[in-house]
Amino acid sequence: MNHAQSDSDTVVAPSVTDIEFKVMDDAELERPYRVIIHNDDVTPMDFVIAVLVTFFELSAERAIDVMLTAHHNGQALVKVLPYEEAHRRVYDAQSAARDYGYPLSFTLEPEP
């Protein structure tokens, strides 16, 4: 096989995707973030309550209130935590939901 290229050969470089990294300083990592739960039509209410109790250490009564607020309003405040802790808990909760095939989701918002 001839490895020499002629002028008619075209070499296409793989596309490069721009990746933007955001670096947080210590103050920003300690800043309080709001954990928001989002309603979906698949995840059972009992599972949502169990996740809120297990991963966010809410009382059963508070977990029920949060779940019902999200169910009726589309989303609800779960808890306010430092960024790293909030991120870890959200990751763990969503991972557990995925393990059971549920699309339960959360977002983080900086506390105003």
pLDDT digits (tens, 9 = 90+) for 6-61: 455 555 555 556 666 556 566 666 789 999 999 999 999 999 999 999 999 999 99
Question: Tell me, what's the pLDDT at 2?
Answer: 45
Domains and their CATH numbers in the chain: 26-110 (3.30.1390.10)
pTM of the model: 0.74
Describe the chain by its helix, strand, coil percentages, rounded to 5.
Answer: 45, 20, 40
What are φ and ψ of residue 8, in 5° steps? -85, -10
What per-residue string of b and e applies to 6-30 under the rule 16 or more CB within 10 Å gives b? eeeeeeeeeeeeeeeeeeeeeeeee
